[in-house]
A and B are shown apart, each in its own frame.
Chain A
Amino acid sequence: MDLSDLYTEVITEYGRSQKHRHPLEHPDVTERGVNPSCGDDISLELEVNGGVIEKAAILGSGCAISQASAAIMAGLIEGKPTGEANRLAALFLGMIRKDVTDENELEELQDGVALQNISNMPARVKCATLPWHTLEEALKKL
């Protein structure tokens, strides 16, 4: 896979985005996600009201891919019911596993589709999936 397919403008911009990198005042759930082999170590905070995710924050540190994936995810799930967020997580993980390839179906992931090619780079797959697995774990706790 070519580097220019990996570090696209969309990915590097989301990777450096500070938008969701501030701790929430009253998170209802906090979940840590770690990739032990490479040092990605993130913390997902969610404020949930009436079953709707009002705010999402991603703290910690990680590579450009995990950070971009986290920023895209935070933007997508804010304002969505938790069930919807769970469905999006399954859709994203399905895309990475190449189980879901239909463009129309993936459209819902918006900029998340920029990470589709990561499935061709086995060493980096877990970077892209870390925030989404962390989201799934966080939602189980609610």
Chain B
Amino acid sequence: MNKYLHDFPLLLQPDEKGRRIAYLDNAATTQKPQAVLDAVTAYYQTSNANPHRGAYDLSEAATKALESAREKVRAFLGAPKAAEIVFTKSATESLNLVAQSYGMSFLNPGDEIVLAISEHHSNLVPWQIVARARGAFLTYLYTDESGRILPGEIEKKITGKTKLVAAAHASNVTGVVNPIEAIIDRAHQVGAVAVVDGTQSAPHMAVDVAALGADFYALSAHKMLGPMGVGVLYGKEKLLEAMPPFLYGGDMIEYVEEQTSTFAPVPQKFEGGTQNVGGAVGLSAAIDYLNSVGMESIREHERALTAYMLDRLRGVPQLKIVGPDELQDRIGVVSFTLEGAHPHDVATILNADRIAVRSGHHCAHPFMCHLGVQATCRASVYLYNSNEDIDRLAESLKGVRRWLGYGLE
């Protein structure tokens, strides 16, 4: 049994048949360790108040909780300053913030925005909207059939016209880790800013935004053992300072007069409205938990699990892996199709064996189109998964086609 499993109450719950869930949908969201649940409860039991406002001790405690979570995230990401860490409600909001604030202000007619074709809709649709509003153009970095960005594509597509490049550090469809350093370096070479969607990478590998040189880096708490409703945007201080606010209202102003206002310094400028302090506290506890395990250990554990999963899936008749069938530059996200079985049926049939996988297009329509698949099943692992989960997946998959009536005629 996996030694971390005991820390995750949901994963220990047996169903009426005594079966544990084989939870393999970690790219969608992750389960929470008791330490995170306790930290959130403790915040509400001892420190809850509106931060940055009251003159009383309790408000000070809430402010301290929020600001120490910010410092925790800063250290986790290797960001130079805590002021460069903005709390949002999700990675989607983080990316929309960059699009609406930076994109709408600094992109001009004729400018090019370069995206990886493998982007999640949250790092694609906001740029379509900005491009349309500003008269800019979208161009794409295309991939080979395993989802890897084609050689030469970075130099060819990121040119003097490029003003912004947006790409995921790792793909939520194929698990490919993109050559993000090369993409960022090329963007800077031509004077463009680089927006990195770190939603799938930050939970699974050590990330150092300063070493990467990313201008913006977005992530989501609930995909790294933290609560839902909290996202993070890292942005270089100079860029954040030059950008207009995103949400206007309380807690983000300096002076407000009848006709005009001035705004708070970063990061408060981008944090209009009461923040999800309980959520930030949960994220902080999640980072503590991840650090106690060690990001390198997590990466190694997932590497071994992915190797085992690829091996077991190769043994399932009529199964095809969508994405790289090897371990190099990938995370533990594996998409696949089963001949003659729609992914939605596969997921329903696996569910009957208490195995949770995702099915569908994974919010990446243009990428699915590019790969020539309608939908896939996706199994994704985390630190609490074990070979036993993979064995259950592989065995259950072998029975899927029979449920759908194949092999009966």
Contacts and interface: CB of A to CB of B under 8 A. Distances in A.
Contact of B405 (A15, A40, A65): A15
B242 interface: no
Given A63-B342, A123-B348, A127-B344, A39 B360 contact: yes
A37 B343 CA distance: 12
Contacts of B404: 7, 12, 15-16, 64
Contact of A38 (B340, B341, B359, B368): B359
A62 B403 contact: no
Interface string B350-381: 00100000011100000010000011000000
Contacts of B341: 64
Given A7-B405, A12-B404, A40 B352 contact: no
Interface string A99-134: 000000000000000000000010110010000000
B228 interface: no
B285 to A, nearest CB: 31
A63 B344 contact: yes
A67 B343 CA distance: 13
Nearest to B405: A12
A101 B17 CA distance: 32
B366 to A, nearest CB: 14
B405 A9 contact: yes
Contacts of B342: 39-40, 61-64, 67
Interface in B18-75: none
Given A39-B361, A61-B374, A3 B344 contact: no
A28 interface: no
Contacts of A61: 342, 374
Contacts of A124: 344, 348
Interface in A51-78: 61-65, 67
A84 interface: no
A43 B368 CA distance: 19
A41 B360 CA distance: 11
A6 interface: yes
Nearest to B342: A63
A2 B359 CA distance: 20
A6 B348 contact: yes
Interface string A8-38: 0100110110000000000000000000011
Interface residues of A, number: 24
B373 to A, nearest CB: 9
A13 B344 contact: no
Contacts of B352: 2-3
Interface residues of B, number: 18
B121 to A, nearest CB: 10
B349 interface: yes
Between A2, A37, A63, A121, the greatest number of chain B beta carbons within 10 A of the residue's beta carbon is seen for A63
A121 B344 CA distance: 13
A61 B373 CA distance: 11
B345 A37 contact: no
Contacts of B348: 3, 6, 121, 123-124
B403 A7 contact: yes
Interface string B292-334: 0000000000000000000000000000000000000000000
Nearest to B365: A36
Contacts of A40: 342, 344
Nearest to A64: B345
A38 B365 CA distance: 11
A41 B374 contact: yes
A2 B352 CA distance: 8
Contacts of B340: 16
Contacts of A3: 348-349, 352, 403
Given A3-B352, A39-B361, A16 B405 contact: yes
A127 B360 CA distance: 13
Contacts of A37: 360
Given A6-B348, A63-B344, A39 B405 contact: no
A62 B344 CA distance: 8
A41 B85 CA distance: 41
Interface centre among B344, B349, B359, B360 (most CB of A within 10 A): B344
A2 B341 CA distance: 18
Contacts of B375: 38-39
Interface of A: 2-3, 6-7, 9, 12-13, 15-16, 37-41, 61-65, 67, 121, 123-124, 127
28 contacts: A2-B352, A3-B348, A3-B349, A3-B352, A6-B348, A7-B345, A12-B403, A13-B405, A16-B340, A16-B404, A37-B360, A38-B360, A39-B342, A39-B343, A39-B368, A39-B374, A39-B375, A40-B344, A61-B374, A62-B342, A62-B344, A63-B343, A64-B342, A65-B345, A121-B348, A123-B348, A124-B348, A127-B344
Given A38-B360, A64-B342, 16 more contacts: A2-B352, A3-B403, A6-B348, A7-B349, A9-B405, A13-B405, A15-B405, A16-B405, A39-B342, A39-B361, A63-B344, A64-B341, A64-B404, A121-B348, A123-B348, A124-B344
